[in-house]
């Protein structure tokens, strides 16, 4: 975030209200009512209480218009709006200043982290231990909590599965915890659901509280990591995806395969073909045996696959799957044409569309056709993340020149077409951007939201349906 700091949310019509800073999607700039940067949980509580008092005294009660809070962790939700709120008039509550790793327990396999703790910070602290963090393919300088709250996708499992407990500041300023929390050094086994109704995921993809810490599960460090790069031609997509599905269902490969279309595959030096990264982890005897079996199947007559050169899954790729730190963000910079986490919002134009598609060859081929039609007048690449034997998350990335308004308009029209085409097919995105909020909450969601935040202390987010039209 680069907006000037303010110490309190300004009224929306005050001089301190400002347009949002550049973000990589070039969405409609939002009017921000201020930027708050607390450094402690107590300061977060203070800001939430102040917003709650203002909301209770809102016009209905005779006071000035309230300023809802939009909490972010590192605000690097690239392609979906970065740190932008959905609606005008919110104050961004930037929690990156809460950046302590409060605890690491390698025996029981968890860390307690605050919102400003980045993937790389924790990966560094785990060096030399027998535990690793489930990294994502985004910059190492993104927040662990921010991505968990998006229910993002890690290299080994979805980030939702890494979550064991949350510490929250509710809309009335109360501090509470959900899920499982450790007694330091205690014997209790990590149990994300706690006991009774499971509450953690009431607060992911929600905007009902500010998260000030989380218990994050750590994976055992694998003794070996082997990423096999296989390629196949575009006209074999259907058959290749069916074979990968069969291998996944049969546990020959874990449900973590990434399939890059010929545009996305260029990052790894592959031209004009699809590339699949098959990540095998475990004891060397296991990864060796699986590598041999996959090799035999690749050589089977009629197989769509060829082995790519080792450079298509090089040391940087292996380091990411192995959870090793990379403060220089080498792999991320390769994906962004050399751009670092700090400059991406200013220097690159990038939109993302993230639908869930069945793990079937015919579906993959159909999805590729929908993407081709929708993005015919711009540049788009697709990465498919296998989530399980039935589901593949498609990451469609549209790149454009950020200072060319025509290119930005074309990219946004393509994004609109993607939303329309995939919705018509029934393949909905699992997360969305500030201009395409996901379908409205159910009645039960609304009851819970109204119970937790009756006065709208927190800004309504991307998971609460489109903004209602302004009152006449």
Q: Which positions touch ligand FAD (CB under 6 A)? A: 71-78, 83, 95, 115, 136-138, 142-143, 145-147, 149-150, 152-153, 207, 210-211, 332, 335-336, 461
Please identify, using beta-carbon distances, which residue of 172 and 366 lies nearer to ligand FAD: 172
Dmax over Cα atoms in the chain, in whole Å?
A: 77
- Of 304 and 399, which CB lies nearer to ligand FAD in the complex structure? 399
Give CB contacts under 8 A, 24+ apart, made by 400-406: 400/26, 400/349, 400/350, 400/351, 401/349, 402/22, 402/24, 402/26, 402/346, 402/347, 402/348, 402/349, 404/349
Cβ-contact 395, 267 below 8 angstroms: no
* 354 versus 371: smaller Cβ distance to ligand FAD: 354
Residue 171 or residue 294: which is nearer to ligand FAD going by CB?
Answer: 171
- Please name the residue ranges forming H helices in 24-93: 41-56
Alpha helices of 235-358 — where are they, by DSSP H?
A: 237-249, 284-299, 315-321, 330-335, 344-347
Quote the CA–CA distance of 38 and 95 in Å, as a whole number. 6
Q: How far apart are CA 254 and CA 248, in angstroms?
A: 6
- How far does Cα 203 stand from its chain's mean position? 15
Provide the minimum distance between the beta carbon of 94 and ligand FAD in the complex, in angstroms, as a whole number.
9
Closest distance of CB 130 from ligand FAD, Å: 24
Residue 148 contacts residue 216 (beta carbons within 8 Å)? yes
Q: Which residue is nearest to ligand FAD (CB)?
A: 146
305 versus 463: smaller Cβ distance to ligand FAD: 463
Kindly tell me which of 143 and 432 has the beta carbon lying closer to ligand FAD: 143
Non-local (6+) Cβ contacts of 345 within 8 A are 21, 22, 23, 24, 78, 82
Q: Least distance in Å: CB of 168 to ligand FAD?
A: 8
- Give, rounded to a whole angstrom, the gap between the first and last alpha carbons of the chain: 34
Question: Which residue, 84 or 294, has its beta carbon nearer to ligand FAD?
Answer: 84
Taking the least distance from each CB to ligand FAD, the nearer of 92 and 228 is: 92
* C-alpha to C-alpha distance for 171 and 58, rounded to whole angstroms: 15
Cβ at position 149, least distance to ligand FAD in Å: 4
Give SS3 for 420. Answer: helix
């Amino acid at each position: 975030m680069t907006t000037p700091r303010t110490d309190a949310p300004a009224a929306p019509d005050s001089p301190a209200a400002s347009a949002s800073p550049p973000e990589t999607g070039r969405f409609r700039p939002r009017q921000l009512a201020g930027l708050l940067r607390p450094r402690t949980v107590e300061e977060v509580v203070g800001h939430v209480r102040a917003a709650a008092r203002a909301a209770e005294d809102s016009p209905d009660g005779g006071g000035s218009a309230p300023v809802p809070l939009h909490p972010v962790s590192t605000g690097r939700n690239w392609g979906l709006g970065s740190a932008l709120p959905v609606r005008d008039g919110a104050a961004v509550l930037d929690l990156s200043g809460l950046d302590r790793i409060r605890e690491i327990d390698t025996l029981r396999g968890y860390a307690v982290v605050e919102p400003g703790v980045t993937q790389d910070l924790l990966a560094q602290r785990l060096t030399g231990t027998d535990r690793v963090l489930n990294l994502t393919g985004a910059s190492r300088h993104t927040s662990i909590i921010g991505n968990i709250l998006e229910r993002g996708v890690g290299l080994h499992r979805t980030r939702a599965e890494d979550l064991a407990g949350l510490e929250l500041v509710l809309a009335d300023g109360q501090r509470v915890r959900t899920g499982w929390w450790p007694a330091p050094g205690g014997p209790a086994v990590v149990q994300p659901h706690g006991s009774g109704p499971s509450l953690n995921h009431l607060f992911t993809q929600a905007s009902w509280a500010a998260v000030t810490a989380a218990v994050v599960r750590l994976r055992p460090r694998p003794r070996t990591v082997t990423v096999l790069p296989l390629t196949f031609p575009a006209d074999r997509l259907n058959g290749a995806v069916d074979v990968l599905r069969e291998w996944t269902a049969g546990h020959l490969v874990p449900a973590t395969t990434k399939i890059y279309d010929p545009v996305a595959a260029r990052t790894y030096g592959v031209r004009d073909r699809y590339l699949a990264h098959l990540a095998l982890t475990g004891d060397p005897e296991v990864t060796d045996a699986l590598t041999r079996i996959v090799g035999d199947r690749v050589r089977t007559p009629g197989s769509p696959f060829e082995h790519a050169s080792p450079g298509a899954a090089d040391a940087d790729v292996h380091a990411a799957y192995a959870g090793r730190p990379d403060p220089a963000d080498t792999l991320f910079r390769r994906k962004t044409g050399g751009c670092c986490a700090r400059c991406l919002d200013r220097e690159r134009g990038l939109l993302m569309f993230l639908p869930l598609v069945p793990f079937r060859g015919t579906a993959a081929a159909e999805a590729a056709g929908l993407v081709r039609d929708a993005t015919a007048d711009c540049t788009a690449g697709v990465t498919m993340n296998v989530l399980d034997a039935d589901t593949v998350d498609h990451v469609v990335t549209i790149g454009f020149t950020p200072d060319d308004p025509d290119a930005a308009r074309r990219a946004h029209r393509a994004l609109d077409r993607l939303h329309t085409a995939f919705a018509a097919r029934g393949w909905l995105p699992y997360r969305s951007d500030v201009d395409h909020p996901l379908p409205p909450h159910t009645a039960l969601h609304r009851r819970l939201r109204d119970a937790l935040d009756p006065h709208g202390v927190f800004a309504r987010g991307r998971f609460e349906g489109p903004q209602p039209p302004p009152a006449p």
